[in-house]
Each structure stands twice: as C-alpha cells, then as structure tokens.
Amino acid sequence: MLPERFVKMFKDAFNVDPVCENNDQKVCIFEEDNKIIVKQDGRVVAQFEDNEDDYATILQYYAKKAGLMTPHAKEIEELLRSLFVNIIILTEVEDKNGFSHSQRVAKMAEEFARFLGWSDEQAVELRNHALLHDVGKIAIEQLMLYSPTRLRTLELHYQDHPTMGAIYLSINESLWQYIPTARNHHERWDGKGFPEGLKGEEIPFYARIMAIIDYYDEVTNFVSADWDSEIKTPSQALNEIKALSGKFFDPQLTEKFIDFMTNVYGIRT
Ligand SMILES: [Fe+2]
Ligand SMILES: [Fe+2]
C-alpha cells in the first residue's frame, strides 16, 4: 500500500487515485518493500525510498513519465492564464450587464459543453479556451494606442490577432494547449478563413466550436462592417448561423448548437 500522505498528494495533483491495475497501464506507481516504484510499459523505471521529503519530487517524476502536468506547471498555467484573462477583459467593452465579449463567449461555451454531456473538467477546459481565444487582440490594442488613425489600424491589423494570440500563448509551455483555439478560431469550414485557410476537420475541434459561438456573440452585440450593419436578434443570428453551416461552420456542430440554443435559451430558427 502506498503511504496515505503520498496518496493524498497524488490525488490533489492529478484528480485520480494512484491505481496500478494491470501491467498494460503505460505508467504505473505502487509500493513494494517500503519503496515507491514507477513502472513504464511493464518495466521498473524508478524506485524511491519512502521519505516524505521526496514526495513532491516523485510526483514531478511521475507526471513527466505519464505526460501529465506537474502541480508546479498547473500553478504557473493558472497564474498566467488569469493574468492574460484580466488584461483581455480590461481591453474589452463591457455590456450593460457588466460582461465583455470573451466572458460571454466563455459562459456560452461552458453551457454548450454541459448541454453536450461533457464532464465538468471538459466544460471548464472549453471555458478557459474561450476566455483566451481573442488574447491576440491585446496586440492590436497596443498598436492602436500610438496610432493617429485608430480605426484604420484596427481594420488593417484585425486579421493578425489569431497569430498574435499564438505568440502571446507561446511564452510558457503550460499555455501551449490553448494555441490551436486562439490561432484558428477565424478559420472557415470551406477553407476561406484566416490565418491559415484550414478546411473542415483540419481546423482544431475547439476552434470550430469557438467560431460558432464567437460569431453569435459578435452579431448579437456589435455593430460591425464585417457582419453587416446592425445588431441582430438572437433568432436572426441563429438563422444566419444555420445558413452558414458548411460554409463558415462545421455542419454537425452547427446542428448541435442550434439544438442547444433552442433547448437552453428557447430561441427558435
Ligand atoms: Fe477573434
Ligand atoms: Fe472573439
């Protein structure tokens, strides 16, 4: 039996029990002769004396072998993510309820994930992707600050924000998981989006979800030359999304999104 305190630390770090059920398990941790042993592909790769001072090191070692985030990396991820999210929210326009674009997209993304029956963990993961999808707009704000023609700068550089987002998120390995969403949320199902012109399932899954929710939030909240001239009602927006299925958006996801909006928000097409 692994020491009780070690099991607790393991559970806190990885949200699962350290079980070693069979030898097929790629990376496995267990106790034998008062030693903590790590096996990989059925082979012993490390053994540690049972010493409380070494538990953190053993967890780091296990995480690395199992391809999991170490408790330390998790802390860094949380810290950097919340730093970016706060800057994003500061630069966005607040609506009458006190929410901004990224917050609304994040809320809807989480609700959509739950509607699809995803676990709490996956729903929160999608919310975090959503909160960071427009992180690259910080760069555009910086450019606009020193520009005498602010709106011209915005128009000229708007299409750079997915790439800028990827650059911001590359500063630390713990944020790399969010890059595909930030970089590809303006790709289109038909391959006519930007920045890379990816097509269909080449577009990362979370980015395809973000494209739909992002569009919905934009057209129902902003007056923009890109999306025609006036703010759309939820039902108009949903009809547009339906019409753009297979063109802008993943058809299967579009169908699910329409189901979600009808069932959760009572909006009809
Ligand atoms: Fe965007
Ligand atoms: Fe957006």
Ligand nearest to the CA of 106: 2
Q: At 73, is the pLDDT very low, low, confident or very high (cuts 50, 70, 90)?
A: confident
* Burial classification of residue 23, based on how many CB atoms lie within 10 Å of its CB (0-12 exposed, 13-18 middle, 19 or more buried): exposed
Global pTM exceeds 0.95: no
Q: How far is the CA of 134 from the centre of ligand 1 (A)?
A: 5
Q: Where are the domains of the chain?
A: 4-66, 72-265
Q: Report the C-alpha gap between 72 and 178 in whole angstroms.
A: 18
Q: Does domain 72-265 have CATH number 3.30.1360.100?
A: no
> Quick one: pLDDT at residue 149?
83
DSSP secondary structure, 90-114, as one string: HHSPP-TTS--HHHHHHHHHHHHHH
Q: What is the mean pLDDT of residues 77-103?
A: 94
Question: Which token pair is 159?
Answer: 């299409």
Cα Rg of the chain, angstroms: 23
Question: Which token pair is 207?
Answer: 């980015």
Ligand nearest to the CA of 221: 2
Q: How far is the CA of 244 from the centre of ligand 2 (A)?
A: 17
* Burial classification of residue 141, based on how many CB atoms lie within 10 Å of its CB (0-12 exposed, 13-18 middle, 19 or more buried): middle
Polymer length in residues for the chain: 269
